[in-house]
Structure 1
Amino acid sequence: MAIISAFAVYFVIWWLTLFAVLPIGLRTQAEDQSVTPGTVASAPSRFRGGRIFLLTTLVSALIYGAWIAGEAVFGFSMKDLPVIIPAIK
C-alpha cells in the first residue's frame, strides 16, 4: 500500500473512532448540576481533549494494526473493498 493510501486509511479510521470515543466518560453540566449561563445543559462540564485524542489514537492504531495484519496474513488489500462507482467502459 502506498504511503498516501496508508495515511488516508488511518485518517478515516481515526476520524470514525473519534466520534465513537467522544461520549465515553462524558459528564454533562446537567448531571453535575452546574449549568453555566449561556450554555445548554447538555454541554460537557469538563472537556478532556487530551484524554479523548489519546484514546482515539490508541484505539485507531489497534484497528489500523488489525487492517495491516489482515493485509499481511490474509492478503486483504484496498482492492478488496467494494467499488461504489463502477468503471466507465
Structure 2
Amino acid sequence: MQWTSILAIYFLFWVMSAFVLLPFGVRTADEAGVAKVAGQAESAPVNFRPGRLVIRATVIATVLTTLFVLNYEFGWIGADDLDILPKPPSQTGSPG
C-alpha cells in the first residue's frame, strides 16, 4: 500500500473520530451551573476543549489506521469473510 493511501485513510479515520467524539465530555451552561451569556443557545457548550479532542481523535485514528493497514497486509478479514447473504440453492437435475 502506498504511503499516500495510508495518509488518506488516516485522514478519513481522524475526521470520523473527531465527529464521533464531539459530544463526549461537553456540558451545557445549565449542566455546569454557570450563568448564560445573553443570546447564548441552550445547547452551547461551556467547556469545549479542542486540544483534548484533537489528541483523542489522533490516538483513535492512529489505532484504526494501524489495524486497517495490518489487515490489508495480512488479510485477516476479507470481503469473502463478510458475505452474510445466504447462498442460492444449487440446481440439481435436468430441466424437464
TM range (shorter): 0.7 to 0.9
CA deviation map 1:4-61 (0-9, x unaligned): 2111111111101111111111111221232221210211101111111100100111
Alignment-derived partner of residue 22 in structure 1: 22
Q: How does 1:1-89 map to 2 (within 5 A)?
A: 1-33=1-33, 34-74=35-75
Q: Which runs of 5+ in 2 are unaligned?
A: 80-96
Q: Which is higher, the Rg of structure 1 or of structure 2?
A: 2
- Using the aligned pairs only, state the percent identity: 28
TM score, norm. by length of structure 1 = 0.76
Following the alignment from structure 1 to structure 2, what is the Cα–Cα distance between the partners of residues 41 and 50? 23
TM score, norm. by length of structure 2 = 0.71
Q: Which runs of 5+ in 1 are unaligned?
A: 81-89
Greater helix content: 1
How many residues end up aligned between the 2 structures?
Answer: 78
Divergent runs of 4+, >4 A: none
CA root-mean-square deviation = 1.9
